[in-house]
Amino acid sequence: MIEGCSFGSIVINGRRYTRDLIIYPDGRIEDGWWRRRGHRLTADDIRALTDSRPEVIVAGTGVFGRMKPDPGLAGRLEELGIAFVALANKKAMARFNAEHRAGRRVGACFHLTC
């Protein structure tokens, strides 16, 4: 579960992270995640997450929501049977926790700053 987030940090299961990260459905966390095009989220940026076959991917787009998914990303994921939602971090945190509590195979990626 994600316990909290603020500009530049996120707390997951009692551990504080200060770099962008991916959360896999099995609970693994990959911190130090980076996108090829900075504030643009592409299918290639989350390929390993997609390959882990989540039911849902929640993208935390930053505190102010400045990371933007590529047009067509949601449709591409839908074709793979993966629901996709992109929200500013506080809302993304709440959505991730709700999906997790509901027992869904949920994965996430979080941009921790802007």
User: Is 94 within a domain?
Assistant: yes
Q: Which regions in the chain score pLDDT beneath 70?
A: none
Domain with 45, as residue range(s), is: 19-110
Q: What pLDDT does 66 receive?
A: 95
Give the total number of structural domains in the chain.
1
CATH number at residue 29: 3.40.1230.10
Calpha distance 71→83 (Å, rounded): 15
**Nearest in space to 67 (alpha carbons), one of 82, 87, 47:** 87
User: Is 69 within a domain?
Assistant: yes
User: Is 14 within a domain?
Assistant: no
Q: What pLDDT does 7 receive?
A: 96
Q: What pLDDT does 37 receive?
A: 87
Q: What pLDDT does 49 receive?
A: 98
Whether residue 54 contacts residue 80, with contact meaning beta carbons closer than 8 Å, is answered with no
Q: What pLDDT does 38 receive?
A: 83
User: Is 5 within a domain?
Assistant: no
Could you tell me if residue 110 is left (phi over 0), alpha (psi between -120 and 50 degrees) or otherwise beta?
beta
